[in-house]
Structure 1
């Protein structure tokens, strides 16, 4: 979604196309924020394809940041932890108990939105190619 000079993406398969199109349309000062996952950093065997896709999204973010810098477009990513949405609780691995999510490790959608707001804020103009981990400290305990 491109809206007023900032954009965000969640799907690795469409992110490359999305970034290419954003670079064609965005003006200097534009910001792209990719939403990744903690599984890009630390994962379990049952989610290997998902983890690989999200890790690729972090590398795509870094590459796009290099390409975007001369255009004045910033690109960053948020590897997020578990967020209280139907997608989390409807996940077959969570339902089956293969992936155990403790309530203390579950954030709210606003926790991610607040970091997106920071990353698109003009005062974060020096943040480029970064991955801002938003997981409530879950990976720190692993």
Structure 2
């Protein structure tokens, strides 16, 4: 019970990595708020967690809207009394040609992948500072430090998210608040599967993604989740303004 009696808000937790983090947090003794844009998937996840004996609520939340994330935090405090942990997991893939990309695509990517984390952090920081303790975990990406052609402007937002992680971590370290990031590579989620299905041979495309990783497989959502448990727990009191990469070693390969 590494998170016993801790209260967590997890954005984008209606599926994939976010849902896995919520499940792992419940298993480790936390209560969670599933803050998710899709109200149905949010409630589905929360219902399953409650059915297994966990404490969970679902709140519809658009992280690009500061008032919306403020509402999710307020609902959590009303239900559970405070917020000890924030996981800024909500994100969106926006892959466009830089010169053909619309202004709306640019704004959407930055609003969700970067500003959403800032909105959430601003909502929880006052309470964390007042209590002298708190953990914020930003789900970044290997796009945060590497570039894959054809993925603009997603890496721009994810690079900036690491800057936000480091800046906030240093800014509030003396107040007892730790801010860290996790940078996964390919993760076997419904979003990844939907991407593979856009190809004529989805199985071949999946195998291609698996084979570029040294372990010859993709990361599992629960592997990201358990790293989040560690960073959120009292076992990581001196880890701050840092990023943990979860990609099986792929990012250290110079070329294939």
Give the TM-score normalised by the residue count of structure 1: 0.88
Cα deviation for residue 23 of structure 1 reads: 0.5
2-side partners of 1:44 and 1:51: how far apart? 8
Runs of 4+ in 1 over 6 A off after TM superposition: none
Q: Name the counterpart of 2:160.
A: 56
User: 2:137, 2:182 within 8 Å by CA — same for their partners in 1?
Assistant: yes
Query: Which residue does the alignment assign to 1:125?
Result: 237
Structure 1 stretches lacking a partner, 5+ long: none
- Whether 1:114 aligns to 2:226 is yes
Q: How many residues align?
A: 139
1:76 to 180, 200, 216: 180
Q: Which has the higher contact order (CA 8 A, sep 6+)?
A: 1
After superposition, the CA RMSD in angstroms is 1.9
2:124 aligned partner: 22
- Aligned runs of 1:2-13 on 2, under 5 Å? 3=32, 4-10=83-89, 11-13=113-115
Secondary structure of the corresponding residue to residue 8 of structure 1:
strand
1:45-66 Cα deviation digits (max 9, x unpaired): 2112011111110000001101
In structure 2, what is the Cα distance between the partners aligned to 1:112 and 1:5? 19
Q: Distance in 1 between matches of 2:120 and 2:240?
A: 18
Q: Are 1:35 and 2:139 counterparts?
A: yes
TM-score, normalization: structure 2? 0.50
What is the deviation of 1:89? Answer: 2.2
**5+ unaligned residues in a row in structure 2: which ranges?**
1-8, 11-31, 33-82, 90-112, 200-204
| Conservation of the 8 A alpha-carbon contact between 1:82 and 1:105 | no
